[in-house]
Amino acid sequence: ALHTDPPAGGRRGRAGFGLIALLLPFVLWALLIKGADLPPIIAPTPIETIRFIFTENAYPIWKALGVTLPMAALGLIAGLAFSFLLAALSILAPAVARALVPVAMLVQNTPLVALVPFVVLAFGRGITASVFLAMLVVFFPAYVLLNQGFAAIPAAARDLVSVYGGSRWQLLWRIAVPYSISYFFAAAKMVAPMALLGVMVAEWLVSGVGLGNLLNISRPALDYETIWAGALISILISAGTYELVGMLERRTRR
């Protein structure tokens, strides 16, 4: 078998576009602050914010991330697992799946703030509530993509399993899952940043711990350096998670 590497020019081009994509938000950030003539105490420049991240004053941010990131990972895994189970029902039990879709759409279209009292009553104000809210943010977009992947299975593949007497479980594991693996990674890339956002919102509204709570209490204290640094770190983590899932997808396809 022949193995061909991408041309060097193509690799350099992708690296150049990646560098531009990385630097452009910081350039726009600096130009916006300069154009609006905002004071540094309210809107620090990108260089000032990056410098602050590596000082001792940023220790509360890293400590808060130690609480937030594990909960975001749990929310992401739980949301993807729940969306997969709901999408799998479209093959294993289509009638049940059709009955659950309206409930899922109702939960998805209900503002997260409106669900907070019910979540607090059911799970309290601990880690479970934060993970559950993150799962709510994640599961529906992932379910839509996975359901599209299962629905796009060629009819010939379904007929082949049926002709040989295969069960719905065999159709799911032997045909549906391998065929829709690209949909799964697309869903994971889309919802991975949303899991972090969901946990931060939960920390702000429910648990009172983690990065979301830190940003909330920094606002009345006029600690804008912590706010900007925390926001920048969360954005970089979200972008890095997106790229990590993309790397896993490329390795899986190889």
Helices (H), the chain: 8-36, 46-53, 59-92, 94-109, 112-123, 127-151, 155-163, 168-170, 177-179, 181-202, 210-218, 224-253
Q: Is the pLDDT of residue 7 over 50?
A: yes
Output the six-digit token pair for 60. 């509360």
- Write out pLDDT tens, residues 223-252: 889 999 999 999 899 888 888 888 888 887
Mean pLDDT of 2-13: 55
Q: Is the pLDDT of residue 219 over 50?
A: yes
- Write out pLDDT tens, residues 71-102: 999 999 999 999 999 888 888 888 888 888 78
- pLDDT number for residue 180: 84
- pLDDT number for residue 229: 93
The structure tokens 């150049």 sit at 16
| Range in 57-66, 69-78, 152-161 the model is least confident about | 152-161
pLDDT band with cut points at 50, 70 and 90 for residue 1: very low
- Write out pLDDT tens, residues 8-43: 555 666 667 777 877 888 888 888 888 888 787 888
Buried b (16+ CB within 10 A) or exposed e, 101-119: beebeeeeeeeeeeebeeb
Look at residues 203, 195, 227, 200 and name the one whose alpha carbon lies nearest to residue 61: 227
- Write out pLDDT tens, residues 161-207: 888 888 888 888 888 888 888 889 988 988 988 889 889 988 888 88
Q: Is the pLDDT of residue 65 over 90?
A: yes
Alpha-carbon span 142 to 95, nearest angstrom: 20
Q: Is the pLDDT of residue 6 over 60?
A: no
- Write out pLDDT tens, residues 106-125: 777 777 778 888 888 888 88
